[in-house]
Chain A
């Protein structure tokens, strides 16, 4: 009997191929490079759960490499109207008033396993892909903005004006809600999200991307080894984005 393509894909992912593609950045921390692209004809599965680890110790407060890369990649350049312009990812500066300790970190869609935006969306436009990525299906988004009220992380933006010349792989349009896609168009062809690539190249390597379900993945091992936090862990949303050094 012939092997199903999905089985081959699964075997490859669970096998050594992924681990072979890691690059040592620092002791105990790896840059994860996806070894294999998903075959075009195969659907995503829940065997994988994509996630991101942000090491705030390595995140400089004056660095916006991740934000710039995301803006270039997806073309959310804005209209000089800061209050209504979209921001898929932003740098948040924290200061502990008691000790004066300062922390800088990128904040974006946390790709919850139990996303409130998906629960409240009346049409099902806000949805979670099998591999854990939370997306907006802009084809059925009616622009009610309930997800923006429900999101604890302010991760969603509404498009307030007509757009043209969008990126072919990142369609965006007036009257719909949008947010970080974790660069699905890149992940599906075996690349890392644009922010992660930029942070490695131009930043200090504060972002680690990988499969939270794969014990061999660098992110899995980093999370197993060091303490990390989820923002607003009290909501128990099981986030795909984790932070170190908070």
Chain B
């Protein structure tokens, strides 16, 4: 029994299936996050990592009940920008490298979004976004077929 926990930890460490190999020599496996095209998110990355769900949750109620359809914090805006690969192609939810999926699998937190929301960008509109520099960068990148 005493050896169970270390054994489990060892097992976890040996299972980097969905986690990229540590690149910087760190022994901690990290999720393979591809942030998608564009230069910056609607809020600083650090803030988004911790609070994206609060923003989405708030926006969700505002949109459904009061019809407030500002794009900045909408799930569709997240998806349109993040669920796109380097070639500007949509990334499916079945793909372990889907932006939301990769990190949520790593953190073992199941989001309750994708039972109903498709999780894929709207066809023909990769990155319908509001932020100026961001959308310009995205458009430029998309046309060149590269990601930052």
What are 28 A-B pairs with beta-carbon distances under 8 A? Answer: A40-B68, A40-B70, A40-B71, A41-B68, A41-B70, A42-B68, A43-B66, A43-B67, A44-B67, A131-B67, A138-B116, A139-B60, A139-B64, A162-B115, A166-B116, A166-B117, A168-B76, A168-B120, A168-B122, A171-B117, A172-B116, A173-B115, A173-B116, A174-B115, A175-B115, A176-B116, A184-B67, A189-B69
Which size class do A's interface residues fall under?
Answer: 20 to 34
Which chain A residue lies CB-closest to B117? A171
Could you tell me if B60 and A168 are in contact, using CB atoms closer than 8 angstroms?
no
Cα(A184)–Cα(B64), bound, Å: 9
Report the bound CA distance from A44 to B68 in whole Å. 8
User: Are B67 and A171 in touch, CB under 8 angstroms?
Assistant: no
- Chain A residue contacts of B66, Cβ below 8 A: 43-44, 129-130
Is A167's CB within 8 Å of the partner chain B?
Answer: yes
Q: Binding site of A, secondary structure by majority: helix, strand, loop or mixed?
A: loop
CA distance A231 to B66 in the complex (A): 28
**A165 and B64 contact, CB distance less than 8 A:** no
Chain A residues in 8 Å Cβ range of B146: none
Place the interface of chain B in its size category: 20 to 34
Interface set of B (CB-CB < 8 Å, partner A): 60-62, 64-71, 76, 79, 93, 112, 115-118, 120-122
Complex formed: what's the CA distance from A167 to B61 in Å? 19
Kindly list chain A residues whose C-beta atoms are within 8 Å of the C-beta of B115. 162-163, 173-175
**Bound-state Cα–Cα, A29 to B141, Å:** 50
Most chain A beta-carbon contacts within 10 A, residue among B62, B71, B117:
B117
